[in-house]
Amino acid sequence: MPDIPFSIDLAFPTCIPHKYDRHLERRLSSMEGMFLDTQAFKELQSKGDSLMYEVYEIHRPEIPGELLSGISIVHPGKVGNEFFMTKGHFHSVLETAEIYYCLKGEGVMIMENPEGDTSIEPLVPGKILYVPPRWAHRSVCTGRQNDLVTFFIYPGNAGHDYGTIIKRGFRKLIVDSTDGYKSIDNPNWKTG
């Protein structure tokens, strides 16, 4: 059967799509080793397996020419001084970009490329963020009480490389500060 155009409504105020193909839940336990303060991680884990972020995927074939999209919701919270965040990844096909549109909340996107450039872009409602090809990306919720909600869209053939980030981490971390948040160098960042 040939494809036909479709549209999807978002439920307000949650921004959860009325129709989606997959709902992913990422909890604290799936993020071991990703936060700097391992003691704080253990302490938080002893209180339960906090829900850190969720993704509602609108699926399409994972082939060139298609676009994959969905809604990402990062919940507020901290592990030690570090805000809740996504795992973050490079695209397996490095030369593929992504666009994020912020619908709700406050946060930042941490980005870096294999050449060692880094970038931290604020996410506030109405902001469109372009993640160029080659840049790993991780969203961070810096709001104290509200979810960070973004719409994302990227090429069907992009794929996800989580392994590089699991091994090395991101060069920059986002931590709490009197000004809201600040970025610091990741002392655990590994080369190679």
What is the full DSSP assignment across 19-72?
S-SEEEEEEGGGGTT-SS-HHHHHHHHHT---EEEEEEEE---SSTT-EEEEEE
C-alpha span between 41 and 98 (Å, rounded): 30
Contact stretch for Zn ion (CB under 5 A) within 12-20, 66-74, 97-105, 172-180: 97-105
With CB under 5 to 8 Å by kind, the binding choice for 142 among ligand F6R, Zn ion, none is: none
Contact stretch for Zn ion (CB under 5 A) within 90-98, 117-125, 168-176, 184-192: 90-98
Minimum Å gap between C-beta 136 and ligand F6R is 9
Could you tell me how many residues of this chain bind Zn ion (CB under 5 A)?
Answer: 1
Minimum Å gap between C-beta 31 and ligand F6R is 9
Residue 106 engages Zn ion in binding (rule: CB under 5 A): no
Residue 98 engages Zn ion in binding (rule: CB under 5 A): yes
C-alpha span between 29 and 35 (Å, rounded): 12
Residues that bind ligand F6R (CB under 6 A): 55, 70, 72, 86-89, 98, 137, 139, 152, 154, 158
| 44/58 with CB nearer ligand F6R | 58
C-alpha span between 10 and 129 (Å, rounded): 20
Contact stretch for Zn ion (CB under 5 A) within 13-21, 51-59, 72-80, 98-106: 98-106
Contact stretch for Zn ion (CB under 5 A) within 42-50, 96-104, 118-126, 143-151: 96-104
C-alpha span between 81 and 63 (Å, rounded): 40
Minimum Å gap between C-beta 91 and ligand F6R is 6
Q: Report CA-CA distances (Å) from 63 to 80, 110, 188.
A: 40, 27, 36
Q: Which amino acid is at 36?
A: L
- What does R_g of the chain's alpha carbons equal in angstroms? 16
Structure tokens at 101: 């549109």
Site residues, Zn ion (CB under 5 A): 98
